[in-house]
Structure formats: structure tokens, C-alpha cells
């Protein structure tokens, strides 16, 4: 028995913010951004659009792709750190809007690793309970917490959501192995200082710009380049595979240099690596599921393919999954 993906979907906001647009906002330029990140544009929510809007639409598309109704869902997990509110969980808002009233619902906060964490949790629920269908969403409205005076961060991120519906399968198709990890010693390398119980919202905290994302780019880059290959190596070893067995590698879309470095260390040709960050930027928890859904739409996934997905994020967290694709 395996947990397998029955359907996928994604949603990107209509508004596109290009590098040229950012030149008018902050001291930067297109060449500088492309050289350091590989990003050319990203999608941004309108001021009155919340994270749940993207999560709901991605979920609807995944359900349609799986040929299931919302009433068929037993559980909804939303990976996000930029939900509509501190509480209730964005997953509950998704549940209500979909009409999935038979489903339990909760959020999972692991930053850019959020979808991988949620996917792994969903697999365990399926295999250890009588649940039949679980909706996993990675959704992030990062633009809402970006400081557009800080060129080291505001050029890197975009908004987006991806979703997958999981079910049980008596076949070789589905999740083969997974690995999750964290190193809380790096918690303040990528964080938002205020808004929680440590520094509640006050006029002073707002004035000090403490409600925006802060990142130590140098340390995150070093962590990411090391983690990508460490996690990938552990996954293939656990699965009894080699890098050459992988048909498609879907890495977290944070920086093209990190992706190319990982591919080089694994001796994996770039035509086996899915990249969309030039068009969407880093969508945090939305990164992996948006890429997975786009890969499916573009015909990059074939029944029986071995797919490896690896991510890293705030926490610091990291993790990955290898699965055998079961859709035509």
C-alpha cells in the first residue's frame, strides 16, 4: 500500500512584477537580479487578495484533476507561514469555501519546506488510518511581508499556491521514501521578528519595520547548497536508487545558482531538472507544488517516472520525497 498523488493544480496571481518594475521601487536592476538569482519576474497578489484565495483555487483545480468532489476529502493540510490570519488556520477557510465539511483541517508552518512536510504528514495519515483522500496545499503570500526598501529580499519572492490530492494505491505508484529535518539554531537566519507572542503588534513594532521578512542571505545560501545534496543523497540511499535513476528532479525554486550547484554535485543534467523560478520567483511553500503542477501540465511527467522533490526553508527546515508518478 502506498500514498499516491491522484491530482495536482496550482494558481498564480494575475499581477506580474518584473525586474524592470522593481527598478522603479528599490535600488536594483534587472541584470543584478538575474545574475544573482535567475529571477526575471514574479506574481504578486493585489492588496485586497489573501493567501486563501490562491489556496482555494489551487485546491479546486487539484480536485478537478483528480476527478473528486470536496465531499470526498477526509483531511486538508495547508503548508503556509503567511496565512490570512494568525488564527484560525487557513486550512479551515479552504475547507469552508470548498464545502469539504467531512474533512479535518489544519495548517503546517515549515516555510519553503511546508509542502514537503505536509505531503509526508499526509502520507502517514493515509497509511495509518481509515482516511481515503487528503488535500495537501502549499500556499504563500510572501509579498505581504516583504520590505520593498530591502533589495536583498524583495527581489527574490513571489506569491503562489499549488495543491495535490493524495489517495491510497495497491501498486508501485506513489511515495517511495521521504526525509524531514530541522536545525532550530538557524531560526533567526530567516524570520519575521514581530506579530507573534514574543513581539506583539504595536505602533512601535510597526514603526521599526519588524513585521517584515528578514534574511541572512549568505548563511541561507550556504545552508541551501549543502542541504540540497545532503537530502538528495539520503533519499536515493533510502530508496535503493542512484541519481541516474531519477527521471525528474524538482528542487525548491529559490536561486538558480543553488539549483545548478546541486545538479552538478549529483551529476544530473539540467534537462532532468525542473526550473520555473525565472517566471515565478521563490513562492516559499508554494514552490514545489506549483512546479509539480506545471511539470504535469507541460508533459514533463510520465506514468512510472521517478520524481525527487527537495526543499529547505525557515526554521531552519529541510526535507524531500521520492515518488513514482502514477498519472497518465
Q: Which of 51, 252, 255, 276 is catalytic?
A: 252
- Of the residues 112, 133, 255, 276, only one is catalytic, namely 112
Residue 27 cell numbers, joined = 535600488
Helices marked H in the chain: 19-23, 30-37, 51-66, 90-98, 114-128, 151-154, 203-207, 217-239, 256-265, 277-280, 287-297
Note if 154 is an active site residue: no
How many helices (H) and strands (E) the chain has is answered by 11, 13
CA of 128: how far to CAs of 2, 31, 170, in Å? 11, 50, 15
10 is catalytic: no
- Three cell numbers at 70? 470536496
DSSP states of 243-287? GGG-SEEEE--S-HHHHHHHHHHTT--GGGB---HHHH-B-GGGH
Q: Catalytic positions, please?
A: 112, 252, 282
Amino acid at each position: 500500500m502506498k500514498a499516491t498523488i491522484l491530482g495536482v493544480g496550482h494558481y498564480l496571481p494575475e499581477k506580474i512584477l518584473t525586474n524592470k518594475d522593481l527598478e522603479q521601487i528599490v535600488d536594483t536592476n534587472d541584470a543584478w537580479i538575474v545574475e544573482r538569482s535567475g529571477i526575471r519576474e514574479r506574481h504578486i497578489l493585489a492588496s485586497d487578495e489573501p493567501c486563501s484565495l490562491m489556496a482555494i483555487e489551487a485546491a479546486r483545480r487539484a480536485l478537478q484533476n483528480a476527478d473528486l468532489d470536496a465531499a470526498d476529502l477526509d483531511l486538508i493540510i495547508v503548508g503556509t507561514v503567511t496565512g490570512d490570519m494568525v488564527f484560525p488556520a487557513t486550512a479551515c477557510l479552504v475547507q469552508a469555501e470548498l464545502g469539504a465539511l467531512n474533512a479535518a483541517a489544519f495548517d503546517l508552518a515549515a516555510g519553503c519546506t511546508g509542502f514537503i512536510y505536509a505531503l509526508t504528514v499526509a502520507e502517514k495519515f493515509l497509511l495509518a488510518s481509515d482516511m481515503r483522500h487528503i488535500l495537501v496545499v502549499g500556499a504563500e503570500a510572501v509579498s505581504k511581508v516583504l520590505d520593498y526598501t530591502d533589495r536583498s529580499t524583495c527581489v527574490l519572492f513571489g506569491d503562489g499556491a499549488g495543491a495535490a490530492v493524495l489517495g491510497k494505491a495497491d501498486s508501485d505508484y506513489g511515495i517511495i521514501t521521504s526525509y524531514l529535518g530541522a536545525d532550530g539554531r538557524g531560526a533567526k537566519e530567516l524570520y519575521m521578528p514581530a506579530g507573534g507572542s514574543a513581539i506583539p503588534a504595536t505602533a512601535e513594532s510597526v514603526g521599526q519595520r519588524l513585521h517584515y521578512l528578514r534574511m541572512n542571505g549568505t548563511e541561507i545560501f550556504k545552508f541551501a547548497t549543502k542541504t540540497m545534496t545532503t537530502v538528495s543523497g539520503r533519499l536515493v540511499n533510502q530508496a535503493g536508487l542512484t541519481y541516474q535513476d531519477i527521471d525528474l528532479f524538482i528542487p525548491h525554486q529559490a536561486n538558480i545558482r543553488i539549483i545548478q550547484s546541486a545538479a552538478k554535485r549529483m551529476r544530473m543534467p539540467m534537462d532532468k531538472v525542473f526550473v520555473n523560478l525565472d517566471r515565478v520567483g521563490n513562492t516559499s511553500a508554494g514552490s514545489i507544488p506549483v512546479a509539480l503542477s506545471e511539470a504535469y501540465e507541460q508533459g514533463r511527467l510520465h506514468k512510472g517516472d521517478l520524481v525527487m522533490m527537495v526543499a529547505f526553508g525557515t526554521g531552519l527546515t529541510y526535507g524531500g520525497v521520492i515518488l513514482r508518478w502514477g498519472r497518465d
